[in-house]
Structure 1
């Protein structure tokens, strides 16, 4: 999974030719840390059509705010610099929720 920073976010996400799944997380977010290993496994399963990346908002707070991230974990799928789909903390209770979120977009590619 690609590690994003405030310096490479635009290039790796907004200018990507391939759709990009971004996991916005924080070091103090226990839920984020609990799901991280599973999200890494999902990245292996779906990376043929989607690029997977993560952004630690602790080091890129302005980038996260600029993307409308208000709570953690938030996961967004971007395509051609546009947000195609977003899943927010209130919709994530299991890894299955995250996989279903990815599959809804993946199946359209």
Structure 2
């Protein structure tokens, strides 16, 4: 399994690292206490390795960074938001299969 490709994102650097990125981005909104988030984490790690250089894959802890979570109306976690050119283009809520997430990433890249 590929590791180390997932970027930890905070409220402070969200605009710079995600909205101003020249690459599409996928952000996993999660929390330490969230079991489904922990189930999704290995899939997010794998995708970060597979799409390295093409897509920014980040994780944002909603407990530590409530500003960004509130701004995007995150009500349930895990939530994956897909960004392109600084705009949300797609959203997935809950634990999804790797294939489902890849499909959305590929659509975002198209």
Q: TM-score, normalised by structure 2?
A: 0.85
Q: CA separation in 2, counterparts of 1:55 and 1:102?
A: 18
2:107 corresponds to = 104
1:10 pairs with 9, 15, 33, which one?
Answer: 15
Structure 1 unaligned regions, length at least 5: none
Shift of 1:86: 1.0
Measured after TM superposition, the shift of residue 74 of structure 1 is 0.6
Instruction: Tell me how far 1:93 sits from its aligned partner.
Output: 4.2
Q: Where is the helix percentage greater, Structure 1 or Structure 2?
A: 1
Structure 2: state its 5+ residue gaps: 1-5
For residues 35-66 of structure 1, the C-alpha deviation after alignment (integer angstroms, 9 at most, x for no partner) is 10121011111223211111011100121010
Task: Figure out how many residues of one structure are paired with residues of the other and give that number.
Answer: 105
CA contact 2:22–2:85 (8 Å) conserved in 1: yes
